[in-house]
Structure formats: C-alpha cells, structure tokens
Structure 1
Amino acid sequence: MKTRNTHDSLLSFLGGASWAFAIAGTWVTFQSFIFLGVITASLFAFLFLFIALFAVVILENLSLSRDRHNELLKQTALLTKISDALTVDASQPQE
C-alpha cells in the first residue's frame, strides 16, 4: 500500500487547483474580451491557457520527480540487501 505524506498531498492539491484555475481562467478571459470579437477573445483565452498550463506541467514534473526519487530509494535499499547477501555468500568457504 502506498503511503502519502504531506508533500504528495500538497502537490496533488496544487495540481488540481492549477487545472481548475486554467479552465475557469480561460473562460473568464474569453468572456472578458468577447466585446473585442470572437477571434480576439479566443486568442487572449488561448494565451491565458498556455500560461496557466505551464503551471500544470511544472507541478506534474515535480510529482514525477518525487515518485522517481522514491523508487530510486527503494531500488537502492534492495540492491544493498542483494550486495550484502552476495558478500556474505562469497565470504563463506566453498566445499
């Protein structure tokens, strides 16, 4: 079972909040600039969406690097156990 700590929960929350900000902000931006025309409002909304999705990508990258770090710690512990077991086996005399 995977345990979650505060850092993982915070990253998950911020990732969801970034998606909500991107979607709601794009809609608000489009509605704010609709008086200039549909094409202009769409361009401003796309620009806002591009900037907002940058935050989503950054947070996802942080989450992936955290997962990668945790997996490397598990692999290092396992390799240490294997190395210790091989060292003990090698030090025992052969018959």
Structure 2
Amino acid sequence: MKTTNITPELMQRQSFFEKLLSLLQGAAWALVVVGAFTLFTNFYHLGLLIAIFGAFLGSLVGFFFVVLFELIQIQFDKLREVKKQTKLLEKLVELQESNTKV
C-alpha cells in the first residue's frame, strides 16, 4: 500500500472527489474491522477456528471496497501524472519550435 505525506499544498490540490474517495477508503477499512469483529464474536461460541474463519468472511466485503477505492485512487494519480507530462511535452514542443525558427 502506498503511503504519502499529506502537506497543505497537496490538500489544496485535491478535488472534491478525491477528498470523498479518501473518506470512503477510511469507511471501507472501518467496515473491514466491524465485519471481522462482528462475525468473530457471533461465531466464538462455536469454537475459535470457526470464529477466525467467520472473521475472515466478515472482512471480505470491506476488503472488496478497499481494493475498489484504491484502484480508483490509482486512476486519479495516473490522470494527474498524464496532465503533468502533457504540460511538459507542450513546453518541449514549443521550445523546439522556437529553436527551429531561429
């Protein structure tokens, strides 16, 4: 999992959807914990092994959403990098055109 240092500049550059996505990622992790804990406690009276298996099953839904939101975040990051590369390429083309005119 990729970790980044969040600076005030980065928070200002994030769009509304990226902030919402970050919130949803946190909610998905909370769903993992709640699902695992709930099914573990519900199945504990049947035995420890069954309770652990139940906790695993309870966390699967949350893990699905964690992976889904991470994939969406990766797409946002790709889009941001492509925009940066496009700006750099436009500058290079402009510089090359100005050099060929001389």
TM-score by length of 1: 0.88
Query: In structure 1, which of residues 56, 74, 86 is the aligned counterpart of residue 96 of structure 2?
Result: 86
Matched, 1:38 2:48: yes
Q: Matches of residues 1-95 of structure 1 in structure 2 within 5 Å?
A: 1-2=9-10, 3-92=13-102
Q: In the alignment, is the contact (CA less than 8 A) between 2:38 and 2:58 conserved in 1?
A: no
Which structure has the larger Rg?
A: 1
Once the two structures are TM-superposed, the CA of residue 55 in structure 1 deviates from its matched residue by 1.2
Q: In the alignment, is the contact (CA less than 8 A) between 2:31 and 2:59 conserved in 1?
A: no
Q: State the number of aligned residues.
A: 92
Once the two structures are TM-superposed, the CA of residue 27 in structure 1 deviates from its matched residue by 0.4
Q: Which runs of 5+ in 2 are unaligned?
A: 1-8
In the alignment, residue 86 of structure 2 is paired with which amino acid? T
In the alignment, residue 34 of structure 1 is paired with which amino acid? Y
TM-score by length of 2: 0.82
Identity across matched positions, percent: 32
Say what the alpha-carbon RMSD is for the aligned residues: 1.2
In the alignment, residue 64 of structure 2 is paired with which amino acid? F
